[in-house]
Structure formats: C-alpha cells, structure tokens
A and B are shown apart, each in its own frame.
Chain A
Amino acid sequence: MFWLLNRAKRLSVVGVSKSFGRIKALDKVSFDVERGEYVCIIGPSGCGKTTLLKIIAGILAPDEGIILFNGKVVNNLPPEERRVGYIFQDILLFPHMNLWENIVYSPRVRGLSSREIRALAKEILDSLKLSVRLNSHPSELSRGVQQKTAIARALATEADLLLLDEPLSSLDYRVRIELRFELRRMVKELNLTAVHVTHDQEEAMSIADRIIVMRKGRIEQIGTPLELYLNPKNPFVAKFIGGECNFLEGRIEEIRGNIAVIKTKCGIRLSSRISGFKLGDKVLVAVKPEHFNLLVKEASDKLNVIDGLIKSVRYLGVYVRAEVSIGDISLIVKAPKTYLNKFVENKKIKLKIPDQAVNVFPYPHEGIKRAIAIE
C-alpha cells in the first residue's frame, strides 16, 4: 500500500439546516460516520439526502450547523481541499480520454511524478478489479465498467471520504446487484469512509454498516439494517425498510408487566412487548409479510392467531406472496417458496404472528395515510 493506507476519515454532521426559499430541505440534521464505516442514507425523493451530500462535499453551504472531518470544522474549506470523492448517478468521464487517462488525470494535474502516478493507479485498479483494457474509451465500455472507472478517478484524487449519490441507479438490475457488493468490498479493502445516498432500501440494506432513514429533511432513524428491520422507531420506517408492511389499528386491551394484549379493529388479539403505553391507548401495529407462521393444526391459544381467506397468490422467486382477507381488511403474507402448495386461492388459512413480529406504535395523530406516505 503506497497512498491509500489508513486514510479513512471520521465525519460528523452537527445541527445542519438548509432552506431553499420556503422549503426546508434539511432540518437540524446530526450524525457521525466512523472511520472506515459504510453508511447509506435512504429516503423518498425530495427528503433532502442529495442536499446533505452536497453540503458534506462543500458544494453547498449550510444555513446552520457544522461539518467536521476528524474533529476539525471544515465549513470554510472549499470543496477541492476537502479530499472528498463525489460519484453521481450520471457517470461523468472525459469521453475523449481513455480509461487510463481518465484515472490519472487528477494526479497529473497535481504534478505527481510518473512513478508516483503509476503506483497510485495500480493500487486503485487492483482493488477495483477492472478487467478491461486501459486504452479503451468510455463509449466502448459497459455502464457498469464506466461507473467503476468514475470511482477509480475519484479515488485517484486521494479522496479519503467517498460520497456516492445514487451511483447504481442508472445501471441494469443484475449489474447493479453485482456492483453493490463490489462497492462495499472496495471501500473496506481500501479502508475508506463512504456515505452512499439511495432511494432503494434493498440496496442500502445489502451494502451498509448503518443506515440513516430520512424524510422531509429530518432523520427518522439511524441503525444497522437488522435493527431498522426488526425495531423500526415509527410507522414510516416500518413501511420504508424491508419492502411491504401490514398496518393494523387497535387498542391496548390488557397489560401484564411489559407484555400488552392489543385488540385490533378487525378482531385479532395480539400480544407484544411494549413500554410507555397505557390501557385503552389507540395504537398502530406493523407486521412484516414474511413474519407470519403458517399453522397446520388448531391452536390451543387464540392469541396472535389469524383465520383468513387467501384471495390471491403470486410467486416471487424466494418467496410466495398471498393476499389474505380477514373480515373487510386484507393482509399481505409471504412464505418461503416451499410453501407454495399451501397457498391456494379461495382456501382458508390459519396464521400465527410471533410476539417479536408485532411492532406497536402510538396511533399517529396525522392519520395512518399521512404517517406512512412516501411522497
């Protein structure tokens, strides 16, 4: 390792706000990213994630708040002195230069000797596993290779913080999945710190050490992929992480220690671990489709048990997805595809929801629709 050893920097964002006219794009956003950590920021279009990235890069100035690199305030540092690599969805390469010329452009401009340039470029190329000829021009390369080259070029600027704004969104599905894991491997191998913005929660969950969920300029939750998936803080995170989600309205009917029994509007009784609720509270329960268990025999206890009717079945590959009706509501249920023969349209089905799968939230004062709206 010649250039890239132990370069990762620590990033802190403290109380950052930014408005565009009447629109508050960021509202007192604070978080830390550790050295060598891969963090994804996700949220619907317009949640402020790109604005945040631009502020970290120094392209935009915050109205309020500070940005720190390794504990030093960098608000007044111009972008070119921040040693930050910025990768966009639209792949930006010099079309008239070949791959090698693109990658060594920055070190050349900075006046590195040709020996230094070769050592730096070799190290980056080795970690990127670019298996194409270096004298190819961008137009001769696939989009996946083009984006890798753009990353190599960003790294050659000696950036120690990589900012990625939807870097995989313009790529084909399969290439996107492959590059996900390669991006992570590369960042870890080169010991970089990465902040990656995406609207695709699957991508974020696959790559990130931690995920920041944003909505309307605010941070809703920060955690590891599994933390967000199993313990969402609010209905929005429950909906946004992990794909589809079922929501049920109900009331706290009984409390025994830290276990409560919730009676839902559709007549199901669910038990769950809770804190901070009292008897009679109106609540919203979130259950992920893949968290139901299929019951083959009659359950002795009616608690957490659902009797429903299968309305429709779709085969999705790893999972089979069914819409199950209970009275006038409809639940989405997913089971491993080995259960395909158990899912028959217009047949009755008995399901059990394990305690851990029942996520209980205070009933949102703005109503369910607003609380989980993506737009």
Chain B
Amino acid sequence: MRVIAGIVRPDKGEVYIDDKLVNEVPPEHRNVAYFPQTYALFPHMTVLENVSYGLIIRGMDKEGANARALRILELVGLDERADSYPNELSGGMQQRVALARALATPSDILLLDEPLSALDAILRIELRFELRRMVKELNLTVIHVTHDQETALAISDRTVILRKGRIEQIGTPIEVFETPANIYVANFIGEMNFIPGVVVDLENRYLVVDIGGVLVRAKRALGRCEKGKVVLAIRPENLVVKDEEINKENWLSGIIDIASFSAGVYRYEILLKNGFRMIYKEPFSFIKTGFHKGDKVSVYLDPERIITYPYPAKGLRGVLVIE
C-alpha cells in the first residue's frame, strides 16, 4: 500500500496508474488516497467538516463539498450525526466517519488498510456489504487490506493472497475458495480438511489413494500428484454425512466428537475410524435436526470435490502454521 501511495520507494519494480509509470511521481501528485488503519479525525471539526475537508482543500466549493459529504454520511448511516464532534461518537461511529472521509475524497485509487477492524463483529458484517455497495455506486477503484478472510471473500471482486512478501494466489472469491493454488491458500481461506495419503494406482479419471489403510478415489488432475505421498483436501461443507452405516467406496465411518452451531451453520468435528479428524459444516434447516456428540455417522468424500496437493517437503504441520 505504501509503495502504491508513494510513501515508500520500491527497491525494484514499477508502479503504473492508468498505464502511466508513477515511480517518480510524489505522493501528493499521484491522486491516490491512502487511509492507514489508525484513523485520526480532526477533533475540533464536526463530522460533516471532517468528511468535506478533503473535498474543500482539493478546490471544491463549500456548498458542493457539504452536499457530497452529507450523501456519503447517509450511506454510512451517520447523516443524523453530521453536526456532532468526534468525541461525542462511539469508536465504531468514528471509524465509519473515517470511512466516509475516505470515500468522499476524490481519487483514482483508494487504499484502505483494515477499515473495518475496530468495529464490533455484527457491525463489521453489515458494513462489509455497505462498503462494497458504496464503492460500486461511487465508481471507485479500491485496494483493501485485511487479515480477515471472510471480509475479503464477501467484499472483493478479486483477492490477492500474500505471504511473507510473495503472492500466493490472485483470483475471484470463488476461485480462491474452491480451487486454492496451494496448501497454504487452502488452509488460510476458510476451514479445510487435509488428509495425508499415498497414491497407489492411477485410473483414467481418478487417483486411488491410501489414507491410513483405507483406499479412496480422488479426481485426477492430469500431470499432478500422480505418485508418492499426497495431501487430499476437501471443504467441510463439501462432505456428505449420514447417520447410518454405509459400506461403499469413499464412505468412511466415524463418530461425532464436537457439535456446535453458529451463524446459521452447524459445525461438527468427526473422529474417523482410521484416526483422522474431519470438520463437517451443514447449513441450518428447519427440516433436519443436527447431530449430537457420540452419534455414529458415515462420511462421504466426493471424488470430484477432492483437491490433491503434493505432500509438502516440510511436512503437513509446518505448512499449516499461520503465525
């Protein structure tokens, strides 16, 4: 963000805005608005003045600036507080004012660093979609940095996943969630089941993989992971779980170890007979009651929904550590 804004110079590489090289352009001439995480409102100015300030110093007349500022305050739900001073607002409201100020500032690119992080969880969920709606309505280009992968999925057209200074994957929310480029991304975006195994046979469309003494089929991606140790990955909501004994291919039996429910989703941890632990997620339904701890179940690994990765040289645990 700081390199794009021009505050930090890159050692190497180039930054283009509208296809124009801007490496030598100072920050104040880049027409990039950068809003760091620690927002500071002017304490002696009202909410309205805080939001219209950026417009006025860029030469807009006061009336026009106030009108635009009010419209954006309305979008963040704070138009009624336009005449309040920052210290009269809660922390969450102050962050919304800071966001309004960022959105009101005319710029080619808006850089937002964790703009929702100081909000209570419920407000954050609401404001995610609001922020996206506003950005689209105001026709802005936005780069939004967050450590919260749920926010990233919900808000973005595309997500760039960075790790230790490198890009791991760039893609739409569906792409990064359903076809993660590597184990790191698969683990970082949402919860994922990882099952270590060994490829024992190759079929036309499937790999036959030994996972702890049980053979399962997994979709074969040509030229990838065709022998040796592999890791099978499958999303918790892509499993099928039944409360009956099923002795068919790709069905494994186990027992519900942890049952919980939150935000419209049941989440279970299932202890499989072969010792593996699987997470299963199921959307709420009025028709079906949830499973309970101790229930005997069968788990289906749909071969088409399994993604296979090469077994990491550093071992599976080493790759899955986030901190």
Binding site for B on A (CB under 8 A): 44-46, 142-144, 172-175, 177, 181, 185, 199-207, 225-226, 229, 239-240, 242-244, 288-291, 312, 314-319, 321, 323, 334-337, 354, 356-357, 374-375
Contacts and interface: CB of A to CB of B under 8 A. Distances in A.
A142 B320 CA distance: 14
Contacts of A316: 150, 153-154, 173
Nearest to A224: B261
B263 A336 contact: no
Nearest to B128: A314
A242 B261 CA distance: 10
Contacts of A321: 129, 154
Contact of B93 (A185, A226, A375): A375
A177 B154 CA distance: 19
B84 interface: no
B153 A315 contact: yes
Nearest to B284: A290
Contacts of B188: 174
Contacts of A143: 323
Given A199-B121, A315-B174, A374-B123, A206 B323 contact: no
A353 to B, nearest CB: 10
Interface string B27-68: 000000000000000000000000000000000000000000
B323 A181 contact: no
Given A45-B91, A315-B177, A318-B281, A177 B122 contact: no
A185 B187 CA distance: 23
B242 to A, nearest CB: 17
A41 B185 CA distance: 34
Contacts of A243: 122, 125, 263-264
A242 B129 CA distance: 16
Closest 3 CB pairs of A and B: A205-B262, A142-B323, A290-B264
Contacts of A174: 187-188, 322
B184 to A, nearest CB: 12
B237 A244 contact: no
Contacts of A375: 90, 92-93, 123
Interface of B: 90-93, 120-123, 125-126, 129, 132-133, 147-150, 153-154, 173-174, 177, 187-188, 190-191, 237, 258, 260-265, 267, 269, 281, 283-284, 286, 321-323
Contacts of A244: 125-126
A127 to B, nearest CB: 16
B323 A291 contact: no
A181 B260 contact: yes
Contacts of B133: 312
10 contacts: A172-B323, A173-B147, A229-B284, A240-B122, A289-B264, A314-B173, A315-B153, A316-B150, A318-B237, A323-B129
Contact of A337 (B154, B237, B260): B237
Contacts of B148: 173
Contacts of B263: 201-202, 205, 242-243
A206 B265 CA distance: 10
A314 B93 contact: no
Contacts of B132: 314
B260 A206 contact: yes
Given A45-B90, A45-B92, A334 B264 contact: yes
B120 A45 contact: yes
A321 B128 CA distance: 13
A305 B29 CA distance: 55
A142 B93 CA distance: 32
A252 B236 CA distance: 42
B102 to A, nearest CB: 20
